[in-house]
A and B are shown apart, each in its own frame.
Chain A
């Protein structure tokens, strides 16, 4: 796609050819995303910068106007900070309570505790589909059913699931789901929020500006402005959007679909099983954190080597051209449960191979011997 060379213009703003071409591509990207996650309609897809912005959008546009003192929001201790902090900010304004579902020692969600935490006071359940630290996959269909049975809405952070497995919002029956382009071969600064149409219709805008309004009428008589919001999803897309980003995300999805999401999941399961087995037996000083059951998780391997901080491990691996993350991974509460000051985290995607895992293990052995 050569957008900047031959189609570059703003969308929804002009009648000229380039703008029409840009608009067509941008809206085609929305349709592609809707189809990819099986949304009913492309108007259920809001373009955002990424998952974090999507959580904030729902927190400010829905939470700020619908959550009040006495209400409860249920999250979990395995959430990324971006699915904790926005709710905490809004709760400080509106005075509702946030309940934290516990996590078991192996990093899996404590479903019994979830059922204890949820009640008729719960107005929203906001959980990740896959933990960005442990790779644990949550049974969202089951959790959404429990949430709905209590009259609550269900928000899902799909940042770690949508890129790695088939995700069907209709089948999961979730009310909102968010994901980021940069985790699925797309560029940074683009992502999507799925929201059921009737919720998006009822929600207030997130930011003000161009495109999100239909009419700004100044009355000479009252000297006031009367504003009509645009329809969703444009109501939530103030200002010039990341047009090239949306088109690039569409191309990334086209690429993933050519491989097939079930195939991608299968490949990652194979790598996860292989890495779990080999890492467990490779070094005496290496500890794998979280569940070792590859069926319960995605291709994320949190680990540590005694005598080395996670940053030491990451810098050492970097010397060999192996790049992993180190630190809290924006999930401090989960590290508290694991009683870890931080963790090293290797992760896999479609481009990784068993041979790369073998090389990774070789280097880990060398590190252990240092």
Chain B
């Protein structure tokens, strides 16, 4: 069975007042994961194909072509995992 861990290497809380989380995608799965995310989330803005500003279920986030994403305003790691599961699985 495919799980979030198949795509995500690490989730870390950001340091700073803008509470958020940085999701690092597994290097060998990042292109597949980004494609899945772009398919499901609503694209708000694309910055030269390097950053994509997206919205999914009312949560805004930015994903970088390097395979990292910043999610803002996600309250807990568990709720972020639910969002990632909905995006990736």
A312 on the B face (CB < 8 A): yes
| Given A309-B70, A315-B64, A319-B65, A341 and B47 contact (CB-CB distance below 8 Å) | no
Output the nearest chain B residue to A370 by Cβ-Cβ distance. Answer: B47
User: Would you call B2 an interface residue if the criterion is a C-beta within 8 Å of the partner chain's C-beta atoms?
Assistant: no
CB contact list, B6-64 vs A, under 8 A? 14-18, 20, 22, 47-48, 50-51, 62, 64
Residue pair A318, B66 in contact (C-beta under 8 Å): yes
A238 to chain B, nearest CB (A): 32
B20 touches A319 (CB 8 A): no
* A326 beta carbon closer than 8 Å to chain B: yes
B17 touches A342 (CB 8 A): yes
- Contacting pair B62 A312 (CB below 8 A): yes
Contacts A316-B50, A370-B48, A370-B51; is A327 near B68 (CB within 8 Å)?
no
Is B16 in contact with A309, judged by CB distance below 8 angstroms? yes
Contacts of B18 in A (CB 8 A): 309, 311, 341-342
A310 at the interface (CB under 8 A from B): yes
* Interface flag for A328 (CB, 8 Å): yes
Residues in A neighbouring B62, C-beta threshold 8 A: 312, 315
CB distance from B21 to the nearest CB of A (A): 10
Chain B contact residue count (CB 8 A cutoff):
17
> Is the pair A315, B16 in contact by a Cβ cutoff of 8 Å?
no
Contacts of A315 in B (CB 8 A): 22, 51, 62, 64, 66, 68, 70
CB B58 to nearest CB in A, in angstroms, measures 19
Task: Specify which of A316, A318, A319, A342 is in contact with B15 (CB 8 Å cutoff).
Answer: A342
A: contact size bracket: 10 to 19
Supposing A316-B50, A327-B15, A370-B50 touch, asked if A311 and B20 sit within 8 A by C-beta, the answer is yes
Whole-angstrom distance between the alpha carbons of A309 and B53 in the complex?
13
A365: min CB distance to chain B, Å: 13
What distance in Å separates the Cβ of B20 from its nearest Cβ neighbour in chain A? 7
In angstroms, how far is the closest chain B Cβ from the Cβ of A329? 8
Bound-state Cα–Cα, A13 to B69, Å: 50
Structural contact, B16 and A319, CB atoms closer than 8 A: no
Type the 1/0 row for A295-330, where 1 means its CB is closer than 8 Å to any CB of B. Answer: 000000000000001111001101100000011110
Distance of B9 from chain A, by nearest CB (Å): 15
Would A319 and B64 count as touching, CB distance under 8 A? Answer: yes
Inter-chain contacts of A370 with B (CB < 8 A) = 47-48, 50-51
Nearest chain A residue, comparing its CB with the CB of B72: A309
Nearest-neighbor residue (CB-CB) of B50 within chain A: A319
Q: How far is the CA of A327 from the CA of B19 in the complex (A)?
A: 10
Question: What residues of A have a CB within 8 angstroms of the CB of B20 in the complex?
Answer: 309, 311
- Bound-state Cα–Cα, A329 to B14, Å: 11
| Distance of A60 from chain B, by nearest CB (Å) | 26
CB closest chain-A residue, reference B63: A315
- Which B residues are CB-close (under 8 A) to A310? 16
> Which residue of B16, B51, B64 is within 8 Å of A326 (Cβ)?
B16
Give B11 Cβ to nearest chain A Cβ, in Å. 14
Smallest beta-carbon distance A317→chain B, Å: 10
Bound Cα distance from A312 to B52, whole angstroms: 11
Q: A312-B70, A370-B48, A370-B50 are in contact. Are A328 and B64 (CB under 8 A)?
A: no
Residues in A with CB closer than 8 Å to B15 are: 326-329, 342
Give bound CA distance, A316 to B48, whole Å: 12
Q: B14: nearest residue on chain A (CB-CB)? A: A311
CB nearest to B15 among chain A residues: A327
Given contacts A309-B70, A311-B22, A311-B70, contact A316 B16 (CB under 8 A): no
A319/B14 contact (C-beta < 8 A), A311-B22, A370-B51 known: no
Which residues from A are CB-within-8-Å of B65? Answer: 319
Complex: how many Å from CA A326 to CA B70? 13
Minimum CB–CB distance from B18 to chain A (whole Å) comes to: 5
What residues make up the interface of B, taking CB atoms closer than 8 Å to A?
14-18, 20, 22, 47-48, 50-51, 62, 64-66, 68, 70
5 further A-B contacts with Cβ under 8 Å, apart from A327-B14, A329-B15, are A309-B20, A311-B18, A319-B64, A327-B16, A342-B16
Please name 7 pairs of A and B residues whose Cβ atoms are closer than 8 Å in the assembled complex, sorted by A.
A311-B14, A311-B22, A312-B51, A312-B70, A315-B68, A318-B64, A370-B50
